[in-house]
C-alpha cells in the first residue's frame, strides 16, 4: 500500500500538491476547495493528469480540487484519503495554532511577574508597551524559557528603584545575586537601563554612551561610581576658594554632614555659575547648578543643605525638558520660583519654537498654560543679566 501511495502522490512533480495540503492541515483548515500552482512545468501538468485521469486544463497555471484528489486517493485503496496520505508521505502534521497558543501562554507566563509589578506603577506603563513594540526582550532572550528568569530578575531590580543612593554593583548583587548582572552590554543591564530612563522621563532606548548611562541610572538613585557623579556650586560654606566655582563628588558628599546656608539659589545651567563667579566672585550668595537632570551628587548636596535648614529658589530653561527637571526638584525639595513663573516667561522676548510634550508646573500652574499658549522656548542665557542682578542684591 505504501508503494502504491508513493507512485500515486509521492513523486517530485506532485510535491507541491502534498505540501499545500499539509500547510492547510497544519493551520487547522479542511482539505476542501481548490489549490493552484502558477508557472507549472510540463512534468507537473502530466503528473496531475495521471493522478486525476483527465486533462488538467490549459495555460501555465494548474488548479485542482482537493475534494477530487481526496476521492481519487480513497478510490485507489492506497490509504484512507488525502489527509492520511499527507501523514504517510510527510510524517505527523503539526498543530500550528495549538503550538502558537502554547508559545503565547509561555510568553505571558514569562512576563507575569513584571506585568504584576508594572500594574502598580503607572509611570512604567509606557515603557512596558514599548518592550512589546520594540521586541527588545525577544531579541535578548528569543525563547520564553530563557526570558522568564531574565524578567524575574528585572522585576527584582525595579522593586528597588528609584533608590536613595545605591552603587549599581550592590543593587545587582542584592536583586540578582550577581554583582555584574547590570553591567553594560548584559541583557539585564540593557533592560534595566531602559526602565531607569523611563523612570526619569527619558526616551527608553539608550543613547549618549557612558555619560547617558550614568545620568539615567543616577536619576534613578543608582550610581556607577562615587567619583563620576558631580555637582557644581558657588558661594557655599566650606568652599576651598571663595568666589570660585567648586565641584564636589558624590564620594565627598556621602562623607559630609548638613550644610547651613540659608537661602540657596538653584539654576539649571553651568553658564549661570560661571557668569556669577566672573561678576560677583566671593560676593555671590549660595548657588547650586543641577546641570540638566540632577545627578546623585546634586541630590545629595540639596539634601545636606535642606538638613541644614536651607530654603531654595529655582530657575531653569523655559522648555518642557527644563520643566521636567524643575518638577523633579520641586517634588523632592520644594522651592520658590526664581523668575521661573508665568509672569517672568511672558516678559522675555524670544521666537525660538517650543517642542516636546507639555507638563504641569505645580509651583505655578499658570506657567504651563502660558508655555502651551505661547509655544516659545526661553533658555537661561537669555535672562542671565536678570539672574545676576538678583544674585548681586542677594
Q: How far apart are CA 62 and CA 86, in angstroms?
A: 20
Q: How far apart are CA 189 and CA 187, in angstroms?
A: 5
Task: List strand residue ranges (DSSP E) for 202-275, in order.
Answer: 222-223, 230-234, 246-249, 263-267
pLDDT at 327: 95
Q: How far apart are CA 182 and CA 190, in angstroms?
A: 8
pLDDT at 208: 63
Measured from the Cβ of residue 29, the count of other Cβ atoms closer than 10 Å reads: 12
φ/ψ of 375, rounded to 5, equals 60, 40
Q: How far apart are CA 318 and CA 297, in angstroms?
A: 24
pLDDT at 109: 96
What is the C-alpha end-to-end distance of the chain, expressed in Å? 103
**Cβ 162 vs Cβ 123: under 8 Å:** no
Query: What does pTM read for this prediction?
Result: 0.64
Which class for 147: exposed (0-12), middle (13-18), buried (19 or more C-beta within 10 A)? buried
Task: List strand residue ranges (DSSP E) for the chain, in order.
Answer: 34-37, 62-65, 166-167, 222-223, 230-234, 246-249, 263-267, 287-289, 311-314, 336-337
Domain edges within the chain: 2-94, 107-223, 230-393
Q: How far apart are CA 367 and CA 4, in angstroms?
A: 85
List the one residue out of 254, 256, 253, 261 whose CA is nearest residue 306: 261
Q: How far apart are CA 344 and CA 327, in angstroms?
A: 17
Q: Mean pLDDT, 10 residues at a time, over the chain (394 residues)?
A: 83 93 93 92 91 83 92 92 92 88 93 96 94 95 96 96 89 94 93 92 79 85 85 94 95 93 97 97 97 90 96 97 95 97 96 93 98 97 97 90
Chain position carrying cell 535578548: 140
In sequence order, the β-bridge partners of residue 234 are 287
**Record: fold of 230-393:** Dna Topoisomerase Vi A Subunit; Chain: A, domain 2 (3.40.1360)
φ/ψ of 335, rounded to 5, equals -165, 165
Amino acid at each position: 500500500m505504501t508503494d502504491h501511495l508513493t507512485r500515486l502522490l509521492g513523486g517530485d512533480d506532485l510535491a507541491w500538491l502534498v505540501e499545500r495540503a499539509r500547510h492547510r492541515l497544519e493551520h487547522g483548515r479542511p482539505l476542501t476547495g481548490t489549490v493552484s500552482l502558477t508557472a507549472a512545468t510540463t512534468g507537473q501538468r502530466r503528473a496531475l493528469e495521471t493522478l486525476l485521469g483527465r486533462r488538467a486544463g490549459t495555460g501555465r497555471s494548474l488548479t485542482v480540487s482537493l475534494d477530487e484528489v481526496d476521492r481519487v486517493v480513497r478510490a485507489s485503496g492506497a490509504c484512507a484519503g488525502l489527509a492520511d496520505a499527507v501523514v504517510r508521505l510527510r510524517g505527523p502534521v503539526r498543530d500550528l495554532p495549538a503550538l502558537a497558543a502554547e508559545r503565547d501562554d509561555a510568553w505571558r507566563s514569562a512576563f507575569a511577574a513584571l506585568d504584576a509589578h508594572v500594574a502598580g506603577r503607572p509611570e512604567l506603563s509606557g515603557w512596558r508597551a514599548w518592550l512589546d513594540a520594540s521586541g527588545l526582550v525577544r531579541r535578548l532572550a528569543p525563547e520564553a524559557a530563557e526570558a522568564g528568569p531574565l524578567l524575574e530578575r528585572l522585576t527584582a531590580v525595579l522593586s528597588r528603584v528609584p533608590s536613595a543612593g545605591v552603587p549599581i554593583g550592590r543593587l545587582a548583587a542584592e536583586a540578582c545575586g550577581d554583582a555584574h548582572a547590570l553591567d553594560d552590554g548584559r541583557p539585564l543591564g540593557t533592560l534595566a537601563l531602559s526602565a531607569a530612563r523611563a523612570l526619569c522621563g527619558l526616551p527608553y532606548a539608550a543613547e549618549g554612551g557612558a555619560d547617558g548611562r550614568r545620568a539615567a541610572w543616577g536619576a534613578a538613585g543608582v550610581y556607577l561610581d562615587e567619583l563620576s557623579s558631580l555637582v557644581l556650586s558657588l558661594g557655599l560654606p566650606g568652599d576651598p576658594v571663595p568666589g570660585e566655582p567648586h565641584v564636589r563628588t558624590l564620594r565627598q558628599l556621602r562623607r559630609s554632614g548638613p550644610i547651613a546656608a540659608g537661602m540657596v539659589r538653584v539654576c539649571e545651567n553651568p553658564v549661570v555659575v560661571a557668569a556669577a563667579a566672573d561678576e560677583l566672585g566671593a560676593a555671590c550668595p549660595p548657588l547650586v547648578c543641577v546641570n540638566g537632570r540632577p545627578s546623585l551628587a546634586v541630590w545629595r548636596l540639596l539634601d545636606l543643605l535642606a538638613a541644614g535648614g536651607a530654603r531654595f529658589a529655582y530657575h531653569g530653561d523655559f522648555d518642557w525638558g527644563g520643566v521636567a527637571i524643575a518638577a523633579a526638584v520641586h517634588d523632592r525639595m520644594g522651592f520658590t520660583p526664581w523668575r521661573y513663573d508665568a509672569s517672568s516667561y511672558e516678559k522675555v522676548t524670544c521666537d525660538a519654537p517650543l517642542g516636546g510634550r507639555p507638563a504641569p508646573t505645580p509651583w505655578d500652574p499658570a506657567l504651563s498654560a502660558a508655555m502651551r499658549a505661547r509655544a516659545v522656548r526661553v533658555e537661561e542665557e537669555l535672562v542671565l543679566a536678570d539672574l545676576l542682578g538678583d544674585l548681586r542684591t542677594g
